[in-house]
Structure 1
Amino acid sequence: MPVNQASAGHLLRLIRTGEAVTRGELQHVTGLSRSTVGNRLDQLFAAGWLRDTAAGASTGGRPSARLEFNSSHAVVLAVDLETRHSRAAVLGLDGTLLADRSEPLLISDGPDRVLDTVASWFPSLLEKAGTDASRVCGIGLSVPGPVDWTTGQLVQPPIMPGWDQYPVPVRMQEAYARHVPSAGAPVPVLVDNDANLMAYAEQRLFYPDCSAFVLVKVSTGIGAGVVVDGEPYRGIDGGAGDIGHIRLHDRTEALCMCGSYGCLAAVASGRAIAEQLASAGIPTTSGSDVREHLAAGQPDAVRLAREAGQRVGEVLVTVVTLLNPGVLVLAGDLAGTPFLTGVRELLYQRAMPRTTAHLNVVTSRLGDQAALSGAAAMVVEHLYAPDRADTRLAALNGG
């Protein structure tokens, strides 16, 4: 049934999703008069959020101009914090990467140092992207730990000492203001778990019709991101998908970074394999080193990656049976052929055929850019959601 009332923010949603892209279509879908639609579109044009494009097909008379979201009117700063490296980037609202930077940075150095260091990269990134702070509409952070979405705070992250309950959004705003004094009013800062954001980006770009989607990241730790009906599923306080701390009963001697024994991450993560390779006399200090060994075809690394895939596959049998996803993406340092083979072996062997009949098990297509893309998309979807868009428009108009 057509909606009788629709605000400017709701009209923007219809345009962004392609449900209605001309003035006539907006009138038809919303039930609003021509003048009301025109007035609300005027608000969106004045804000720079809309633009006219080539006219649509004529049905007799002058063809209607098509409306589209103006993705060039602002930019997003995105940050991907990992255990030993961090990336930062400037992206357009359509996800286009305009400038990026990657540097070694230990997450264990603590939030104050890490956030200040990353913020110090922003001025040169904005200059490289050919833009300035006035066009930054928000900052998105991807972190390798559970995040309470309502507060942006991490909740007992096993591999991020000193970050538990730390006010990341506020401190990031403060660090940004110090290093980019021309920024003016504080910009919103959104924080989410890296696997959630990677899953969000991969699903939106490559599997938009998949209503149940899972991504598993295997690097220093192991985590999963779940997207249901186009929205990340985070659980009650951000703990959904933390499969790295599921206990394996036959490996109770393996000590995990969380302090427990027998966790999946203690035997099948990049960190675990790095320790096994180092013990065998093969110089390896991190999951990144394991990735390099795999790229070079190092036999022990290949064997251990396949075995790790089998252990992860054991756990994914339950995940897939519970969620019945259409796509399962493997990402992170170990996401290559040996690991993929190991996962598939156990998954198809132990799950019921009905569960995997329509399941596509693949590796990440975005690779190292997945978390950045997801962080930027998170910011855009948050800021241009109908109600929030209306609030921002009112502020722009002095209301």
Structure 2
Amino acid sequence: MEGPVINVGDSGAGALLHLMRDGQPRTRAELAGLTGLARSTIAQRIDTLLGAGFVGPAGEATSTGGRPPARFAFNPAARVALAADIGATHGRVAVTDLAGRVLAEHRDELDVALGPETVLDWMIERFHELLAGVGRGQRDLIGIGVGLPGPVEHSSGRPVNPPIMPGWDNFDVQGYLRERLGVAALVDNDVNIMALGEHFTQWPAAAHLMFVKVATGIGSGLISHGRLHRGAQGAAGDLGHLQLPHGADIVCRCGNTGCLEAIASGAAIAARLTGQGLPAKSSRDVVTLARGGSVEALHAVRQAGRDIGEVLAAAVSLFNPSVIVIGGSLARAGEHLIAGVREVVYRRSLPLATQDLRIVQSRTGDRAGVIGAAVMVIDHALAPSQVDAMLGTQSAR
């Protein structure tokens, strides 16, 4: 086997499963060569994983004489994850396999301001319906991942002073879901999980990526060295509340003035267009007007891109991403938003930071959030220590 030996000798079957999650079929001998473990140890751990369904037979390798050796590969169908992406005005839930593939999903218009119990009870009811629809039950669950449209302390899963989520402050979302569904739940803000989903599905080789959501509000998620960067309290990427100098007289819902979100979000553009005699209540209405050829709407969207670009130019100098992905409902207005962003970022940032920088529209679209929420909880549940605890293999090593 080419490549370095991977030391998994200090862990149990969980570390071997972690290695096999790339989906590549391997024989016991190949796994022994990769890990440096004895074939008898590999055989024991493969048997444990086979018994739990986490790996399965994957045909036979080419024989070099005698009986062809069996190959084994990760089995994404072994369990399922539940995922939810809750926005300001919508909710999307899904069931995925362990590779993050969506097996079933549901979307509704949903006002997050209805409060945590109402929104979470809606989520739980939809989860039960989706599980029944794909023929899976409670014992198949690996966990639940949830994204919420506000600041979240990731370690506790509790929203912290979310401006558009009355009644949610410090609510124990994880505990509420765990009590009713019987499995671990992880919670993060919606832009972080969208960044995870976009990176996982479209840009796995991009070590440094920035996902910017432009919808009712504006936020960003940061992927650094291939992992989500949350910061000390989980507040990293709060792009929408950075101040623009030319917006000093515009009051933001956070209480400050001049915030990017108060100037360039879908809600802000909709309000300005309404004031100009073009009724618009949301980002969707702005997109409809822009796609319909409204000069006022197109101009407003392009200017929003420039305003966002001003803040992103500073972020590019600080973070130096290789990819900036623009998502959210306003991104569907076409190239006008991204063109405005590119116009300013490429002009204002240093050439070294932009020489290989790509600024692109989200490819995952509406599914980025639920895929990211699923990836978040799958990576947690399939961490080697978690798998060992689940299988009871720590004492059997």
Same fold, TM exceeding 0.5?
A: yes
Task: Give % identity.
Answer: 42
1:103 match: secondary structure = strand
- The reply on whether 1:261 has 2:257 as its aligned counterpart is yes
Relative to structure 2, which stretch is displaced further, 62-71 or 75-84?
62-71
Matched residue of 1:289: which SS? helix
1-side partners of 2:394 and 2:131: how far apart?
23
Q: 1:206 to 1:216 in 2, by over 3 A?
A: same
- CA distance in structure 2 between the aligned counterparts of 1:57 and 1:356, rounded to whole angstroms: 47
Rounded to whole Å, the distance in 2 between the matches of 1:206 and 1:357 is: 21
Kindly provide the amino acid, as one letter, of the partner of residue 300 in structure 2: L
Classify 1:320/1:19 alpha carbon distance in 2 versus 1 (closer, same or farther; 3 Å). Answer: farther
Give yes or no for the alignment of 1:233 onto 2:229. Answer: yes
C-alpha distance in structure 1 between counterparts of 2:322 and 2:67, whole Å: 44
2:317 maps to amino acid: T
Distance 1:237 1:331 in 2: 24
Instruction: Give the distance between the partners of 2:79 and 2:392, measured in 1 at CA.
Output: 18
* Amino acid across the alignment from 2:365: G
Aligned to 1:159: 164
Is 1:301 the equivalent of 2:301?
no
Matched, 1:191 2:196: no
Matches within 5 A, 1:273-312: 273-312=269-308
Shift of 1:153: 1.0
- Partner of 1:250: helix, strand, or coil? helix
Counterpart position of 2:20: 15
The Cα offsets for residues 133-153 of structure 1, whole Å up to 9 and x where unpaired, read as 332221110111122121111
Paired position in structure 2 for 1:244: 240
Work out which of the residue numbers 307, 316, 326 in structure 1 matches 2:322.
Answer: 326
- Are residues 120 and 18 of structure 1, via their aligned partners in 2, closer, same or farther at CA, if it must alter by over 3 Å? closer
* Corresponding residue number in structure 1 for 2:206: 210
* 1:25 maps onto 2:34 in alignment: no
Match of 1:166, SS? Answer: coil
Q: State how 1:173-184 maps to structure 2 within 5 Å.
A: 173-174=178-179, 176-177=180-181
Q: Which runs of 5+ in 2 are unaligned?
A: none
Could you give the per-residue CA deviations for residues 198-256 of structure 1, whole angstroms, max 9, x where no partner exists? 11111122211111111100111111111112210000111000010001122111111
Residues 395 and 220 (structure 1 numbering): CA distance in 2 closer, same or farther, change over 3 Å?
farther
Cα 1:139–1:352 change in 2 (3 A) is same
Q: Identify the range of structure 1 (56-65 vs 331-340) with the bigger mean alpha-carbon deviation.
A: 56-65
Look up the match of 1:363. 361
Name the structure 2 match of 1:70: 75
Deviates more, 1:243-252 or 1:19-28: 19-28
**Who is 1:390 aligned against?**
388
Is the Cα contact below 8 Å between 2:11 and 2:384 reproduced in 1?
Answer: no
Q: Give, in angstroms, the shift of residue 75 of structure 1.
A: 1.2
Offset from partner CA, 1:294-316 (integer Å, 9 cap, x none): 33333222111110000000000
Does residue 101 of structure 1 match 2:106?
Answer: yes
2:382 and 2:358 map into 1 onto residues whose CA distance is 32
Displacement after TM superposition at 1:67 (Å)? 1.9
Within 5 Å, give how 1:51-66 maps onto structure 2: 51-66=56-71
- Give 1:161 deviation, angstroms: 2.2
Measure, in 1, the Cα distance between the counterparts of 2:12 and 2:52. Answer: 15
Alpha-carbon separation, structure 2, partners of 1:204 and 1:211: 11
Hey, what's the Cα distance between the residues in 2 that align with 1:149 and 1:60? Answer: 54
Could you report, residue by residue, the CA deviation over 1:171-223 in whole angstroms, capped at 9, with x for unpaired residues? 1234x44xxxxxxxx11111111111111111122211111111100111111
| 1:181 aligned partner | none
Conserved 8 A contact 2:12-2:393: no
Distance 1:266 1:163 in 2: 22
Distance in 2, matches of 1:37 and 1:390, equals 15
CA distance in structure 2 between the partners assigned to 1:347 and 1:57 by the alignment: 53
Give the superposition deviation at 1:288: 2.4
State the superposition RMSD in angstroms. 2.1
- Alpha carbons 2:83, 2:374 under 8 Å: kept: yes
Shift of 1:60: 4.8
- Give the Cα separation in 1 of the matches to 2:133 and 2:83: 15
Output the CA distance in 1 between the equivalents of 2:343 and 2:210: 18
Candidates 301, 309, 316, aligned match of 1:313: 309
Q: Which has the higher contact order (CA 8 A, sep 6+)?
A: 2
Distance 1:337 1:123 in 2: 39
CA shift for structure 1 position 132? 2.6
Q: Distance in 1 between matches of 2:26 and 2:224?
A: 26
Flag the 1:297–1:59 CA change in 2: closer, same or farther, 3 A: farther
In structure 2, the partner of 1:221 is 217
Does 278-287 or 78-87 show the bigger shift? 278-287
In 1: Cα distance, 2:281 partner to 2:120 partner: 24
Cα distance between partner residues in 1 of 2:297 and 2:64: 63
Match of 1:130 among 127, 135, 139: 135
Q: 1:398: Cα distance to partner?
A: 11
Equivalent residues of 2:202, 2:364 under 8 A apart = no
CA gap of 1:59–1:14, structure 2 versus 1, over 3 A, is farther
Cα pair 1:20 1:26 within 8 Å, conserved: no
User: Any conservation in 2 of the 1:6–1:32 contact (CA below 8 Å)?
Assistant: no
| Number of aligned positions between the proteins | 390
SS in structure 2 of the partner of residue 334 of structure 1: helix
